[in-house]
Amino acid sequence: MPLKETIDAAIKQAMLAKDKVRLTALRSIKSQILLAETAEGAGAAGLTSDAEMKLLNKAAKQRRDAATIYKEQFRSDLEANELAELAVIEEFLPQQLSEADLVERLVAIIQRVGANGPSDLGKVMGVAARELSGQADGKMISQVVSNLLNNTNQ
């Protein structure tokens, strides 16, 4: 079932359950889908599953960033709301890799690419971003790759 139909069904369930936080998050996702579908240059066939995952990842990243900012500003009420919406969005994302699995996959990519040190960060990140898209946060991937490449030199 396409993401849009899944979201519509979830919106109906949230309305029946009177779950305002879930409803807000789902409506936000639906809004982003509709904007992407009607954007200039969008195909008549709708969004691909890859484009849908990018939208969900972007929405999740926005919620994470907002929660971090609210935490720094000691606005726990707003932070809790963002984290609750993030949890709803993450239901529709593929399962995220654990840190151990991420390190294992990145070590394999580093060996396959033949990276020797920090100067090969871009080469590794290009492959890692493509292969791990939707399975791990880009910032986390970058940090782990950087740590791994810095440790290979020592």
- Co-location of 80 and 8 in the same domain: yes
At 104, list the tokens: 């294992």
Q: Is 12 found in the same domain as 70?
A: yes
Ranges of H-type helices in the chain: 3-17, 20-38, 49-72, 76-90, 99-113, 121-131, 138-152
* Residue 28 structural domain: 3-90
Are 77 and 34 found together in one domain?
yes
Cβ 86 vs Cβ 60: under 8 Å: yes
Q: Is 99 exposed, middle or buried (0-12, 13-18, 19+ CB in 10 A)?
A: exposed
Asked if residue 60 and residue 119 are part of one domain, the reply reads no
User: Residue 125 belongs to a domain with what CATH number?
Assistant: 1.10.10.410
Give the whole-angstrom CA distance, residue 74 versus residue 37.
Answer: 37
Report which of residues 116 and 154 the model is more confident about. Answer: 116
**pLDDT tops 50 at residue 154:** no
- Each residue's pLDDT tens digit, 61-87: 899 999 999 999 999 999 999 999 999
- 63 & 105 share domain: no
d(CA 53, CA 6): 13
Q: According to the model, what pLDDT value does residue 84 have?
A: 94
How many Å apart are CA 27 and CA 9, to the nearest integer? 11
Residue 153's pLDDT is 53
Percent of the chain whose pLDDT exceeds 70: 94
pLDDT surpasses 90 at 120: no
Q: Are residues 75 and 120 in the same domain?
A: no
